[in-house]
Amino acid sequence: MIRHLPDSIINQIAAGEVVERPASAIKELIENAIDAQASQIDISVADGGRTLMAVDDNGTGINAGDLALSVERHATSKLNTDDIMAINHLGFRGEALPSIGSVSNMTIMSRDPADENGWMINVEYGEVKAIEPSSRQKGTRVVIEHLFANLPARLKFLKTDRTETAQILDITRRISMAHPNIGFTVTDNGRQSMVLPPKPDDRRARIRDALGAEFTDDALLLDAKRDQMTLTGFAGLPTFNKPTTGGIHIYVNGRAIRDKSLIGTARAAYADTIPRGRYPVAVLFIDLPSVDVDVNVHPAKAEVRFKDAGVIRSLVINAIRAAIDSDHRTSGQLGQTALGMASHQSGAARSPYWGGNSSSSRGVSQPSVDWQNPERYHTSLPIDDMAPQARLAEEQSHSQHALSGDDTASADTYLAADYPLGAAKAQLHKTYIVAETEDGMVIIDQHAAHERLVLERMKAQRQESGVVNSQALLIPEVIEPGAAAVMVLLEHAPMLAELGLIIEAFGDGAILVREMPAILGQTNIKQLIIDTAEELLEHDSSHSLEDRMEHVLATLSCYGSVRAGRPLNANEMNALLRDMEATPRSGQCNHGRPTFVTLSLADVEKLFGRR
């Protein structure tokens, strides 16, 4: 027998999609306040939003008649025509308040200035009470108590208070970046944990407040237009990358979204400039006529569908690429392309090193590169019949850190099949080790290689004793990584302790780092903490604890490694090579990049057109 479901059940079903966790309710309330033209939005939560959430605004308010309607399903003031594509507000379904009211004890207090006094309405787990007068003077206040108390199964899926609060801070920060004119505050258990003062018409200032000056100081300005579509915002330098996609913020017509395909587009724009497993930081505002985008494709309005997705994709990619290319600080990508050339066998005959036209673009697979200083790569060697071996030896004597004769002699014992990484011959640019092998040569990225070794060693310590060995800092370090980061870090303190990172709360919005994994030595603790928090925020709900630990370990080990730029002597270099040979998975760094490339003599001969 088929029957129509009662409204209470229908609302709960809708709530299942709209209200996944406290942060999603907060998102709906903030968006309602923005739609009501508020200039100040104050959020307070207690116990991760579980027992109490309140959003206060100074917007237009709701009159007595509309107040009763506002909690009814499919009742909205925001669709003025019957055209679902003509959406000019963040809301349009008339679904949020009835959904929230079906899974909580919700009270709305509001006043329309035209009314003599304010009014309030209460909805208790779907049961709508009569409206009553209230003392509210201006704007609207929505209070949500005991979310999901009628749905124990949902309640069970919530994470700890700290994690839920971190998510609330994160969504508030995200939405705020598109609305610099509006001030935001978040109070958590009575303590103000985030304050974003209004920054009238100054998006950059708001983004600086939300994401930190480290990003905005160096970010590249985006301003591109195609037909009726515009892309504005900021693209971070490729070198300012993160271990997760959490730094990619995308807005379509002012709406904060988490659209996988757009995130993919942003990543694609950085494709050959950021190593695999790392992600850019960018704040992208896409604006286009509302009829050209469908925002009604996702229950939490987190995704959109464009009429012409291809045009948007190329707009985003071209704008970001152009910004990166016009910036001189990104010359690091040169090396990436060069690596591609070394393993790239065809086309070698036309000597790619200085045949290139320097104006050509730095394409993904284009071997010709804009060498800024070709002389640097030019040796005085005559290209004659000199044997390849001899040529390498000659080249080596030109290198900055060629080894002394003694070292080379002893290292030659490594010139055997037992030692696939061969004998270290030189360090180039304080970054790469060049080794001679039985039948060719190997170039090793010392940082990438060492990073892998550090990771494997930390893993081994954990396996042996259950924890990564830690060492106390002489002076504990106080770090203020932002409210959301503090939450998620403290939340994971026991887990981090297992990984050798001992932290504790330190007043408002700060943490104290007491001990660090011993193997890391001297390192940039602040950046390490920020990266770790980022990692945890991204993976908090979607990954198992063990998975999260792996991710954090990889991040930590990155900080324990020999940096590119540190001179190494022959013994150190050979020790590193022997270590790599003895370590599993040492061919790839923790971010998936190769740690070394091999060139057989045959390859080298091809490069010089001798084959």
Ligand X SMILES: Nc1ncnc2c1ncn2[C@@H]1O[C@H](COP(=O)(O)OP(=O)(O)OP(=O)(O)O)[C@@H](O)[C@H]1O
Binding footprint of ligand X on the chain (CB under 6 A): 28, 32-33, 36, 57, 59-62, 70, 76-78, 91-97, 140
Largest CA distance in the chain: 99
Residue whose CB is nearest to ligand X in the complex, by number: 91
Q: Is residue 59 part of the contact set for Mg ion (CB under 5 A)?
A: no
Retrieve residue 129's tokens: 């009470």
Residue 226 CB, shortest distance to ligand X, in Å, is: 29
Residue 542, C-beta contacts closer than 8 angstroms, at least 6 positions apart: none
Q: How far is the CB of 140 from ligand X (least distance, A)?
A: 4
110 near 141, Cβ under 8 Å?
yes
**Residue closer to ligand X, measured from CB, 41 or 556:** 41
Tokens for 486, please give them.
């503090």
* Nearest approach, Cβ of residue 252 and Mg ion (Å): 17
Contact yes or no for 467/461 (Cβ under 8 A): yes
Nearer to ligand X, 70 or 461 (CB): 70
Query: Looking at beta carbons only, is 134 or 368 nearer to ligand X?
Result: 134
Name which of ligand X, Mg ion, none residue 93 binds, using a CB cut-off of 5 to 8 Å depending on partner kind: ligand X
Q: How far is the CB of 32 from Mg ion (least distance, A)?
A: 4
Minimum CB separation of residue 207 from ligand X in Å reads 25
Distances in Å between the Cα of 590 and the Cα atoms of 73, 133, 244, 264, 585 are: 50, 61, 14, 21, 9
Shortest Cβ 64–Mg ion spacing (Å): 19
> Using CB distances below 5 to 8 A depending on partner kind, what does residue 263 bind out of ligand X, Mg ion, none?
none
- Pairing verdict, β 293-294 and 305-306: antiparallel
Which among ligand X, Mg ion, none contacts residue 444 (Cβ within 5 to 8 A by kind)? none
Query: For residues 256 and 247, what is the distance between their CA atoms, to the nearest angstrom?
Result: 13
**62 scored as a contact of Mg ion (CB under 5 A):** no
Q: How is 124-167 classified by DSSP, letter by letter?
A: ETTEEPPPEEE---SEEEEEEESTTTT-HHHHHH---HHHHHHH
How far is CA 534 from its chain centroid? 7
Instruction: Give 127 or 223: the residue with its C-beta nearer to ligand X.
Output: 127
Using the minimum distance from each CB to ligand X, give the nearer residue, 36 or 576.
36
Residue 32 found at the interface with Mg ion (CB under 5 A): yes
Number of C-alpha atoms within 13 angstroms, CB side, residue 535? 23
Residue nearest to Mg ion (CB): 91
How many angstroms separate the CA atoms of 434 and 421, rounded?
10
Nearer Cβ to ligand X, position 93 or 457?
A: 93
Q: Could you tell which of ligand X, Mg ion, none binds residue 140, using a CB distance below 5 to 8 A set by kind?
A: ligand X
Write the burial class of residue 489 (CB in 10 Å: 0-12 exposed, 13-18 middle, 19+ buried): buried
Interface positions, 91-150, toward Mg ion (CB under 5 A): 91, 96
CB of 172 to ligand X, least distance (A): 15
- Contact positions toward Mg ion, by CB under 5 A? 32, 91, 96
